[in-house]
Chains A and B, each alone.
Chain A
């Protein structure tokens, strides 16, 4: 069933256009790179605050309100452009080990973020100064940093394990 789905995906007109066009793939990749730098950079602002390495004089709530709108908007752009790049050669990407690991890590990063929000709902404004983020928040921030750095690395390794310009 999965092979059929992947074949259907890469036979869509939009996928064919990206695969066979001369410039569509690189332009979509440009947007993907721009989006992912904004996702990782903005989420790192929150993570570094949670870990206690930056912005310690501001509350987690303030930092989150500053950075997360960028994270989410950029994530939507990264997901759309990533989906288009994937569709252009779905069965090859789906079989790539680094792609599989990357998707898994993105899911884990989402799970980590969801759990953190569930556990800390309504309490972030009170963590005003350094040392006051509880251990669970420091762990969530550290995990998030490691996950997103690994996700970026997987993305680069996909490019080197699939026959394409790097």
Chain B
């Protein structure tokens, strides 16, 4: 085992022994309640992602412009993120090793970074040209590519989230 992991072990043990962590561990309802809030935020993100990506692919809601769909649903991808981070962090404080030493958790965070990057890439061109993704523009192929990368990434995040519970650590 590397020195690094010893450091992480020590950190996890320290964190798990703090009063905050002990409170979360001993009060029955906190973890399921926090997970419920977490999953409701995931619901907002995933539904918005699906609508945006299906529209980028051109298979859904074609009576609405891509720019219009993005304007409406991108906030529901970004806004829940702080709450997801806070609830996720609460779960980590409760059981630090369960997440921090879990390869599936690290995979989830990597996928999250990639998905956030793609979402930004989809959003930024609209600053200069609101019609960037619209029908008939030369960017239709790029739009479909963005959607085809984005959707599996976000679904992977959800799946990884569930698998954290099944991958035994330590």
Interface of A with B (CB < 8 Å)? 26, 29-30, 33-34, 36-42, 44-45, 55, 66-67, 70, 149, 152-153, 156-157, 159-160, 165-166
Q: Least Cβ distance of B60 to chain A in Å?
A: 8
Judged by a CB distance under 8 angstroms, whether B24 is at the interface is no
B127-170 Cβ-contact flags toward A at 8 Å (1 or 0) = 00000000000000000000000000001001101110110000
Whether A26 pairs with B162 at a CB distance below 8 angstroms is yes
Cβ contact of B39, chosen from A26, A33, A45, A166, cutoff 8 A: A33
Cβ contact of A70, chosen from B40, B50, B72, cutoff 8 A: B50
Judged by a CB distance under 8 angstroms, whether B23 is at the interface is no
| SS of B interface (majority) | helix
Which size class do B's interface residues fall under?
Answer: 20 to 34
Interface of B with A (CB < 8 Å)? 28, 31-33, 35-36, 39-40, 42-48, 50-51, 61, 64, 72, 155, 158-159, 161-163, 165-166
Contacts A30-B163, A42-B51, A156-B39 supplied; 10 other A-B pairs, CB < 8 Å: A29-B162, A30-B162, A33-B161, A36-B39, A40-B40, A40-B47, A41-B44, A41-B45, A70-B50, A159-B32
Whether A41 pairs with B43 at a CB distance below 8 angstroms is yes
List A contacts of B45 (CB < 8 A).
37, 41
Whether A26 pairs with B166 at a CB distance below 8 angstroms is yes
Whether B39 pairs with A41 at a CB distance below 8 angstroms is no
Cβ contact of A160, chosen from B32, B43, B51, B163, cutoff 8 A: B32
Whether A33 pairs with B158 at a CB distance below 8 angstroms is yes
